[in-house]
Chain A
Amino acid sequence: MDNRKESEKNLFVGLPDSEILHLLTTISRELVCLHEPDGTYIYVSPNSEKIIGYKSEELIGKNPYDYFHPDEKRLIQERSHQPLLRGEENIHSTFRFLHKDGRYIWLQSDNRLTIHPTTGKKYLHTSSRDISEKMDTEANLALAERRFKTLFHDSPIGLVLTGGHGYIDETNEAFAKFLGYQSYEVVGKHFTEISSVDELEENLKFRDEVQKGIIDNYSIEKQYIHKTGKKVWAYLTVTVLRDDLGHPIHYLAQIIDINERKKNETLLREKNDRLRAATNSYLTQNKQLQAYNQIISHHLRAPVSNLRSLLDLMKESDQLKEVKEIESHLENVAENLETVLSELITTLKIQNSDQFQPEPVNIEQSFDKVLRLLNGEIKSKQAEIQYNFSSANTVYFSKDFLETIFLHLLSNSLRYADTDRKLRISVESFPIGAQTTISFSDNGIGIDLERYGDQIFQLRKTFHRHISGKGLGLFLIKYKMESIGGKIEVRSKPGEGATFLMYFPERSDSE
């Protein structure tokens, strides 16, 4: 080039091109170099110290291969250097370069083959920038992703990633195994497909609150449906991932298997219930024994002491007429004793719970049978009897006991009818919680409960003069009800009638 000197002077700033180049490259982030075809530096821009730590003069005459990371030397040779020499246009390469301070930095280069316009000699032109920071971020991201994947897939806790609509995008081995599936079988299912309906409402309520942005996470105990169909308990914690507008994109669910714990809890609760039932039954038995003591005291000792008195009088007596009278009394006492003993035996039979096996008893069938038994008396008294057992038609009880109870109550109602009005009897059953309750009402003469309230279910108590009653029925009914853990209550007002309420306990699973 002849007029080279001339052209070196820049027309605008009055500086030679080399100085302008120097100015430009000093402030540039790009490291511009010119290499021999084998790579040897023949020009290094003055900003090199800033980028790679070496002054330009330190590198001139050196070969960059001495600075490349050993792992990438071959790659640069094959992917960048040789293609360049073969004439490929523009090659980008990313590689690690040994900084003067001893660490490798990531450089990204644009590489070209340059041919000297006059000599035709080939040079390599590289323009490089430090991308270490970017590489670090990417590496960190990749690492974070890897960490997350590892954490996700290898976690012993069940993890599920669902999309905003509730379909499962990803799941780990632990969760799949918990439900008896392979991971790929779970992916794509809607979470409600594998959830038990029992806690679904609660689950959806929380999800709704998350969607509305009220809460960001929630925890519940719920049951999933195992592949085999059985339900399994889990402790679920759900965290939401939102987009910039606050809409949920993903839900990350952590599922802890608490099936064993729940099973133990249930077992414990059942044992507790059984224990409580046993305690209650002991308390009842204790109360019944006390009542028994009373019965024996009053009803058995009384005829026995009469017997003793009569025998003493007989010994003293010297008149035949008197002896005859005493004999007739003795007969009465003997009869009385027999009655009391048979009553005691009846109650003892009830107490002997081994003989009592509760079974589902159809209330209406039992009541019908009793109606037929008392049909004559019902007709003669012109009693109107209404009954409805449609809302609870079964009690877990003994058929015999239920019939005896109906027989006693119905006989009582017929016996204690108010002669001034038509006798109406109404019998109904209904559920109260898990119990079945039977109410038995009449519009008879009623009982003065203020006066007899504490005696009504005692043995041999009658509350109405001129009407014969043995006073055994209600006592036995109470015994029967209590022996199964039920109870009986009475509501009554004199002149208005009486209502008996009988509570039959639910069927216990342990039986």
Chain B
Amino acid sequence: MTPKICVIDDDTIYQFTTKKIISNAGIKEDVLLFSDAENALEFFHKESQNKDKLPDIIFLDINMPFMDGWQFLDAYGKISPTFPKPIVIFLVSSSVDEADTDRAAKIPMISGYIFKPFTKEKLLDSLAHLQS
């Protein structure tokens, strides 16, 4: 099965490189891309019961304007328990600030914290979580 990947990040260059990395890794499925966490949230509301549309894994940026990663997680956590399938979430950030990593460690729905740059290895490591 090809995993369905969702990327939430406002940085267009990151979007570009991540898409490339995913396709270079041989994943054919289209990437769900959101520049704005609020738009992403709207999508999850709308498709909350649609198993085919929902992704298997989310790569979520922390630092975004309007709604940041933390605010997204707050709202997302309220609707995710009704989803018809489990979704793995990875935080992706350029921040090496311990305040961010510590905060992430306290949130159970986060499976991991990825430091940018995002690479093929990091992608494959995180996809390994889907099998377990």
Determine whether A129 belongs to the interface, using a CB cutoff of 8 Å to chain B. no
Contact A333 B97 (CB under 8 A): no
Contact A297 B96 (CB under 8 A): yes
Q: Which residues of B contact A354 (CB under 8 A)?
A: none
**In the complex, A304→B17 CA distance in Å?**
13
Determine whether B94 belongs to the interface, using a CB cutoff of 8 Å to chain A. yes
Q: Which of B26-34, B47-55, B105-113, B114-122 contacts A (4 or more CB under 8 A)?
A: B114-122
Contact A301 B65 (CB under 8 A): no
**In the complex, A460→B99 CA distance in Å?**
19
Contact B16 A329 (CB under 8 A): yes
Contact B94 A301 (CB under 8 A): yes
Q: Which residues of B contact A462 (CB under 8 A)?
A: 65-66
Determine whether A305 belongs to the interface, using a CB cutoff of 8 Å to chain B. yes
Determine whether B43 belongs to the interface, using a CB cutoff of 8 Å to chain A. no
Contact B17 A301 (CB under 8 A): no
Determine whether A185 belongs to the interface, using a CB cutoff of 8 Å to chain B. no
Chain B contact-residue range equals 20 to 34
A302 is contacted by which of B36, B94, B99, B100 (Cβ under 8 Å)?
A: B94
A465 is contacted by which of B66, B95, B96 (Cβ under 8 Å)?
A: B66
Contact A316 B65 (CB under 8 A): no
Report A116-142 CB contacts with B as 1/0, cut-off 8 Å: 000000000000000000000000000
> Taking the nearest CB of chain A, how far is it from the CB of B93, in angstroms?
8
Contact A312 B66 (CB under 8 A): no
Q: Which residues of B contact A455 (CB under 8 A)?
A: 68
Contact B95 A309 (CB under 8 A): no
**In the complex, A418→B63 CA distance in Å?**
28
> Taking the nearest CB of chain A, how far is it from the CB of B7, in angstroms?
13
Contact A297 B65 (CB under 8 A): no
Contact B95 A310 (CB under 8 A): no
Interface centre among A297, A312, A471 (most CB of B within 10 A): A297
Q: A309-B21, A465-B66 are in contact. Are A294 and B95 (CB under 8 A)?
A: yes
Q: Which residues of B contact A302 (CB under 8 A)?
A: 11, 14, 63, 94, 116
> Taking the nearest CB of chain B, how far is it from the CB of A312, in angstroms?
7
B20 is contacted by which of A306, A313, A461, A465 (Cβ under 8 Å)?
A: A313
> Taking the nearest CB of chain A, how far is it from the CB of B72, in angstroms?
12
**In the complex, A4→B119 CA distance in Å?**
160
**In the complex, A329→B17 CA distance in Å?**
10
Report A304-334 CB contacts with B as 1/0, cut-off 8 Å: 1110111011001000000001000100110
B118 is contacted by which of A309, A329, A465, A471 (Cβ under 8 Å)?
A: A309
**In the complex, A279→B57 CA distance in Å?**
48
Contact B117 A309 (CB under 8 A): yes
Contact A298 B66 (CB under 8 A): no
Contact A306 B17 (CB under 8 A): yes
Q: Which residues of A contact B115 (CB under 8 A)?
A: 305
Which residues of B pack against A, CB within 8 Å? 11, 13-14, 16-18, 20-21, 24, 36, 62-63, 65-66, 68, 71, 93-97, 99-100, 115-119
Which residues of A pack against B, CB within 8 Å? 293-294, 297-298, 301-302, 304-306, 308-310, 312-313, 316, 325, 329, 332-333, 451, 455, 460-463, 465, 471
- A–B Cβ pairs within 8 angstroms, 6 of them: A297-B95, A297-B96, A305-B118, A309-B14, A310-B17, A463-B65
